[in-house]
Chain A
Amino acid sequence: MATTDAGANSEAQPRARSERRLLTPEGVPLIFQLAERGERAAAVLIDLLIMFTAIAALVLAFYFGLGWLRIDGVAAGLMILISFLIRSFYFIYFELRWQGQTPGKRALGIRVIDRRGGYLRPDSVFARNLLREVELFLPMTVLFLPSEGSQGWVNLLTCVWVGIFLLLPFFNKDRLRAGDIVAGTWVISAPKALLLGDVAAEAARRKGHADEIDPAFPFSRSQLEIYGIYELQTLEEVLRQSGPQTAETRREVASRIQRKIGWAGEDNVDAERFLQAFYAALRAHLEARLLFGERRKNKHSRKRPGGEKA
């Protein structure tokens, strides 16, 4: 699905294997990260724990609370009914109410979305959670309550059958379980990103000059044409990081850049200041090239007039 629009929309293409592109009704594609299988398993475990705790509490409450009322039939009936409701509707209730999240999913920061970018519809939620009956509850019954009197090969077949469902997310690239396939949903992780200061502008402001481009470091055009966007963004990470080794890393990065671009200025410049200046200059240069329709991915992509690599 991500093969068309190579020119205009290339910046909105999924970059990694686990990223998925989804077209919003406004026509702007959003990129989501599929949730890890481990995250999903952990979320389910949390939810199961909550469910079983609730059911156990219920049983105890009825046993101690209603036992002396001598209405055993009603108590037992209610217990069966409520346990059934919890088992069948726990996931449905929360996914409807919390817009694709359950307590477990919320704890892990993942959620269910519609694969085609529309509303998460109630029937999707019904379908994906009803299938848990064969995916989750059947395996649990098989594992924990071995049926007496059945032959060995029946048990073996059951295990194979259960295994197919249980391991389904490992056999497709979208990490879909059977319920997701039937409901047309994805489970994605939705982390919160914070808006930090602009590296170039912050540096300029701290030093008190108005321009982001540090006048002490005049870079020539040919020096700026060596690197591409990947290197620029790696440099951004270096400049944003803080910790005990920061100064050393920066010195090393600065000297490597200086060697690569053939820096003719003084040798003993302040590494951080040099990197900030180079970052600002490189970004200004690459962004200017962007306006001309040239998106240079990294230092290996060859420069081509009139647009990026087709």
Chain B
Amino acid sequence: MSVPLKSPLKSFEFRREREKTWRELEDLVSRAERRGLKSLPADDLLRLPTLYRATLSSLSVARSISLDQNVLNYLESLSARAYFQVYGARSSLLEGIGYFLRRGFPGAVRAALWPNLLSALWMTLGAVIGFLLVEANADWYYSFVGTGMAGGRSPAASTDFLREGLYDGADSAADMLFHFATSLFSHNSAIGIFAFALGFALGVPTVLLLFYNGLTLGAFLALYDSRGLTWDLVGWLSVHGTTELLAIVLCGGGGLVLAGAIIFPDRETRLESLARRGRAAGTLIMGAVLMLFVAGFLEGFARQLVTDVTSRYVIGGAMLAFWLTYFALGGRDEQDGDD
């Protein structure tokens, strides 16, 4: 083939000079797409960013000098594919989890301090109102606690029955407890994720969910209080409740973060504000689901096996102290480098 020294088609000259780079990048990217970036040998891995930048610069030049549609499309597509590889997920799953536990989760909890407090406030409000209403008129109990949830624990039940409910389980077989624990976990985390996702509807359902949860709690307290079983009930609840209620508060807080991003977008557009704060809220919820997992096991095992009130308070108190310390201090020593 005779090679002309000078061609009137500059775009063809341009292509001939750089085509080798493009082909090399295409080969690398195809291999990375098929078998993952890690399968590439070290040399190729080092070449990738260089080739990517060279191709990106080719694209930039081609856009302004070439009218060959095929070359343009090819460069667009190749640059995009290389871009996905170069700027793909930065960390492996394990690294991501490590970072999440060390800094991401406690940081997200601190960042959403006010929504979390607001969420806790709503639940407390629900509990107080539920308590007062049921204390004044026991019939309210039936409105707040569904029959399925009550499981016979109603104002009509005898004090002995209620007391037994708090302390039975010690003789249950361990495998049944496991079943119990996991079903509690998946039930509770579904509620938690709901509380978060419903924040999208301006947070109204989130607040209602939190409030209703509080009402149920308050109603229970009032029922047991009327029989002089408060101390026992709080012990029974605290084993898992300190973890579980905190997690539900965090889920509600995440939902309120979403709602806040829609209602008060500050200087950003609503879309930008949702995108930025929604990500942080997502981290919060992942952590809360993890907490609910812990709570499910505490509820399924520890509560059923430990029937001594003092031990129950110790476990519940220790968990509460642990979570609060973790949220307050976790990841603080390192520089917080968001974005």
A and B from one assembly?
yes
- A: residues with CB less than 8 A from B are 11-12, 24-26, 28, 30-32, 71-74, 76-78, 80-81, 83-84, 88, 93, 96-97, 99-100, 111, 113, 115, 117-124, 126-128, 130-131, 133-135, 138, 161, 165, 178, 181-185, 190-196, 198-201, 205, 210-213, 229, 232-233, 236-237, 240, 280, 283-284, 286-287, 290-291
The answer to whether A84 and B185 touch across the interface, beta carbons within 8 angstroms, is yes
Q: Bound state CA distance, A97 and B80, in angstroms?
A: 18
The answer to whether B67 and A123 touch across the interface, beta carbons within 8 angstroms, is no
The answer to whether A123 and B104 touch across the interface, beta carbons within 8 angstroms, is yes
Sorted from nearest, which 10 A-B pairs have the closest CB atoms? A127-B282, A184-B275, A73-B175, A182-B278, A99-B88, A193-B77, A77-B178, A134-B197, A126-B282, A77-B179
The answer to whether B80 and A30 touch across the interface, beta carbons within 8 angstroms, is yes
Classify the interface of chain A: helix, strand, loop or mixed. Answer: helix
Classify the interface of chain B: helix, strand, loop or mixed. Answer: helix
Number of A-B pairs whose CB atoms are under 8 Å?
A: 229
Kindly list chain B residues whose C-beta atoms are within 8 Å of the C-beta of A184. 272, 274-276, 278-279
* B65 is an interface residue with CB less than 8 A from chain A: yes
Given A28-B79, A178-B200, A195-B74, 14 other A-B residues pairs in contact with their CB atoms under 8 A: A80-B183, A81-B186, A96-B93, A126-B282, A126-B286, A130-B282, A130-B286, A131-B200, A165-B200, A178-B197, A184-B275, A190-B80, A195-B71, A291-B65
A241 to chain B, nearest CB (A): 12
The answer to whether B258 and A73 touch across the interface, beta carbons within 8 angstroms, is no
The answer to whether B178 and A73 touch across the interface, beta carbons within 8 angstroms, is yes
Chain B, range 193-208, C-beta contacts under 8 Å to A: 193-194, 196-198, 200-201
Number of interface residues of B (CB under 8 A): 86
Kindly list chain B residues whose C-beta atoms are within 8 Å of the C-beta of A287. 9-11, 65-67
Q: Bound state CA distance, A83 and B91, in angstroms?
A: 26
Kindly list chain B residues whose C-beta atoms are within 8 Å of the C-beta of A111. 84
Chain B: which residue is nearest A295 at the CB level? B64
Q: Which of B96, B176, B178, B281 has the most CB of A within 10 A?
A: B178
A sample of 11 inter-chain contacts (CB < 8 A) reads: A72-B175, A74-B179, A88-B289, A96-B89, A97-B93, A126-B286, A127-B282, A182-B274, A182-B281, A198-B70, A199-B70
